[in-house]
Amino acid sequence: MAKIVKLDNQLSNLIAAGEVVVNMASVVKELVENSIDAKSTIIKIDLMESGLEEIKVTDNGHGMDQEDIKLSVERHATSKIKTSNDLFHLSSLGFRGEALPSIASVSHLEIASNNGDVGYYCLFKNGEIINEGLKPINQGTVISVKYLFYNTPARLKHLKGPNIELSYITEYINKIALSHPGIAFTLSNNQKQLFSTTKSDSPLRVLSNIYSLEIIKNMVYFQNENQYFHIDGYLAKPLFNRSNRNHITVIANKRMIKNNEIISSVIEAFKTYLPIKKYPIVYLNITLDPLLIDVNVHPQKLEVKFTESRMLNSLIKNTILNSLRDLLLIPEMKETNEPSFIQEEIKLSTSDPEFKSKVIKEDLAKFLYNKIDQKIEATKEPLNKVVEPVVSKIPKLEYIGQYVGTYLLAQENNDLYIIDQHAAAERVRYENYYQFMSNKEVNTYELLIPITLDLSNSEVINLQGKFNLVNKFGIKLKNNTNQTIDITHVPSWFYKGYERVYTEEILKYVLEDKDVSLGDIIDDLAKSLSCKHSIKANKYINKNEVQKLFYDLEQCDNPYMCPHGRPTIIKFTLPEIEKMFKRVM
C-alpha cells in the first residue's frame, strides 16, 4: 500500500492558510486587494474588536455572479491570469487563487455580490457551503469574515492584543491607500471611523490623512528616471524622523512591496542626515516594465525581486541624496509654548468643535493645493535644465565669540547662529576623508623607513589575501615575518606622523570578515577618522581657525549635520529671541 497520499482540499487549504493568513491584517490585505482588482473606486473596511469578531470589506467593483462566488473559494481558481505568460505581465495584485480558500478554511466566511444583474450570497464554514441564496445588494461585493482561527486555537493564541493587531491593519491601509490614491478608502473599528480618504490623483493628499500638517508642510517632492525605471515620491525633511523603518513606503507598479535592498538604499541616502537609530519618512513610487519585477516570491506577494536591481538602488539613493543636498536644513529654535496660527484659531473656538475641524481642514486644503500646484509646475520644466543656486547653504557668518570652549556664536543680519565646533569640524573632515578614499587615482608616497605592524599569524594570513583591497586606499604592504607586515607606501592625504594610526584604523575594517562593499568601509572609516581627529569640545580656538572652519563648512555637500546625524548649526531669529524676553507679545 502506498505511503504517500494526496491531501484533501480542506487540509491543503489549512496548510496554505498558514502562509497566507497569519493575522487579521493579512485577511484585510487579501480582501482589499481583491476589491482593487475588481476595479472598485470605493472600499470600506469595517472591523469589530479589531477584526477578532468580524472583518467586513465592502466595494463597488464589477461584482460576481452565483457561479463565480462558488469558484472563488476553490483553490487555484482565479480570473486574473490564464496562461504562464500572464504571470510575467501582471497588472493585478492577486493571481494565485489561494486567498479566499485559505480564509474560508479558518473562519466563517460570507460572500455577497452583484455583478449588475442580481445579488447572491454564499455562507461557508470550513470551506464548504452551508447556506446560499438571493440577496438584495448594490453592484459590488461584500465579504464578511467571522470567528477567524476558530478551528486553529494555536494560531488564535499567538495573536497580539487588539490595539497591536489594529495598528497592523491601519498601517496596511495607510500604504495601500498611498499606492491607489484614486480609490476612496474608509477604515472603522467598532463603528468608529479611524481613516478616510477621498478619490484623488495625489499621494500627498493621502499622506495628509496619515501624518500631521507640520510633517506634510515639510515634505519634499522628488523624481528621476533611467532607461529601466521611473521613480518619484515625497520625503520628509530629516528633522521629522521615526524610531523604526516602517515609515518608508515603497510602491512598485501600484503594488505595495517589501524589498530590503531598496529600504537599505533609502536609509543609506539619509545616513549622515539622521541620528543613529533614527529612520526617515519616505513615500517612494517605482514605475517599471512588469518583466523587470518578480512578485511570485512569497504567497503573501509582498516580497519582490527586481531585474537590474543595482541600477534601481543607485537611482533611488542618488535621487534622494541630491534632494537632501538641495535643502536648507538649519533648524530654527522656536518657543514651543507660543501658539501657532492654527492653535490660536482653535483656542478662540473651543466651544465650536465643527469650526475647530474646519480651520484645520481649510488650512490643510490650502497648503495641499499650493503644494500640488508647485509639483505640477515643477514637472513642466525640462529635466536637463540647469538651475543656478540662488542661496548658499550656510550664510556668511560674522563671528561673535566662543561659549564654554564648545559652541561658536555668530550672526548674519538679525539672526543668531550657534555652531557646535566639534560637529562642524567632523562634517568637514568626513567629507574630505570620504572624497580622498573614494578617489580611484590615489596619490601615494614611499616611506623612507617602512613602518612595521605587529599582528597575529592569523591576521597576517588574512591580510595577505586582501592586499589588493588595501591598495585601493593608497596603502602598500609587504610581507615581513609570520607575525609582522611592513607599510611601504601611504596616501598623500595622511597627516604626517599619523601614518601608523591611519593605517591601523583602515586595516581594522579590512580584517573584519563582513560582507560589505568598499563604499561601506570608506563611509565607516571616514566617520571614525573624522570623529577622532576633529576639534574636540572644551577646546578654545582663535578667530582665524573659526573663519577657516566657517569657510570649509560652507563648501560641504551637507553642512547641516555631523556624519552621525547631529546638527552642526542652529538658528535663532530676532523675533524669536524678542518673544523669549517678552519684548514682543
Give the end of a domain, one of 169, 196, 223.
196
pLDDT tens figures, 32-46: 998 998 899 999 999
Residue 33 falls within a domain, yes or no?
Answer: yes
Per-residue pLDDT at 298: 52
Residues 379 and 405 in one domain: no
> Which amino acid appears at position 571 of this protein?
K
Domain count, the chain: 5
* Domain-embedded: residue 417: yes
Residues 18 and 167 in one domain: yes
The DSSP string of 499-513 is HHHHHHHHHHHHHS-
132/166 same-domain check? yes
User: CA torsion, points 513, 516, 520, 521, in degrees to nearest 10?
Assistant: 20
For the chain, the residue count is: 585
Q: Give me the mean pLDDT over the 318-322 stretch.
A: 92
* Span 282-310, pLDDT tens digits: 999 999 988 888 775 555 556 788 888 89
Helices and strands, number each (H, E), in the chain? 19, 24
Q: Which residue has the higher pLDDT, 251 or 394?
A: 251
State pLDDT tens for residues 562-571: 998 889 999 9
Residue 355: per-residue pLDDT? 40
Task: For residue 474, give the CATH number of its domain.
Answer: 3.30.1370.100
* Inside any domain, residue 3: no
pLDDT score of 76 more than 70: no
297 with 348: CB under 8 angstroms?
no
Are 72 and 133 contained in the same domain?
yes
Helix residue ranges, H only, 38-161:
66-72, 99-105, 153-157
Residue 585 inside a domain? The answer is: no
Residue 163: inside a domain, yes or no? yes
Q: What is the pLDDT of residue 226?
A: 93
Which of 196, 219, 245 terminates a domain? The answer is: 196
- Summarised one tens digit per residue, pLDDT across range 181-219 is 999 999 999 999 999 999 887 899 999 988 888 889 999
Q: pLDDT tens for residues 149-171? A: 888 888 888 888 888 899 999 99
* 115-126 pLDDT per residue, tens: 988 899 999 988
Examine the pLDDT at 232 and tell me if it is beyond 90.
yes
Does 254 lie in the same domain as 240?
Answer: yes
Domain check: are 79 and 119 in the same one?
A: yes
CA atoms within 13 A of residue 229's CA, in its CB half-sphere: 24
Are 451 and 410 within one domain?
Answer: no
Rounded mean pLDDT, 88-98: 53
551: domain CATH number? 3.30.1540.20
- Does residue 544 sit within a domain? yes
CATH of the domain at 147: 3.30.565.10
Q: DSSP letter at 54? A: E
Instruction: Say if residue 161 is in the same domain as residue 28.
Output: yes
pLDDT for position 152: 83
pLDDT at 557 over 70: yes
Range of the domain at 89: 9-196
* Residue 315: predicted pLDDT: 95
> Which range has the worst mean pLDDT, 120-129, 246-255, 382-391, 429-438?
382-391
The per-residue pLDDT for 341 is: 32
Q: Are residue 565 and residue 519 in the same domain, yes or no?
A: no
pLDDT of residue 360: 46
Mean pLDDT of 573-584: 86
**For position 379, what pLDDT does the model report?**
40
Residues 528 and 548 in one domain: no
204 inside domain: no
81 has a pLDDT exceeding 50:
no
Residues 66 and 138 in one domain: yes
The answer to whether residue 350 is domain-embedded is yes
* 190 and 65 belong to one structural domain: yes
Please tell me the predicted confidence (pLDDT) of residue 378.
41
- Binned at pLDDT 50, 70 and 90, residue 85 comes out as low
Calculate mean pLDDT across residues 423-428.
Answer: 94
319-356 as b/e: b if 16+ CB within 10 A: bbbebbeebebbeeeeeeeeeeebeebbeeeeeeeeeb
- Which has the minimum average pLDDT: 64-68, 351-355, 419-423? 351-355
Q: Where is the domain boundary, 279, 294, 325?
A: 325
- Supply the pLDDT for residue 182: 93
**Mean pLDDT computed over every residue of the chain:** 81
230: domain CATH number? 3.30.230.10
Closest CA to 396 of 286, 275, 547, 535: 547
Summarised one tens digit per residue, pLDDT across range 465-500 is 888 888 888 899 998 888 889 999 998 888 788 899
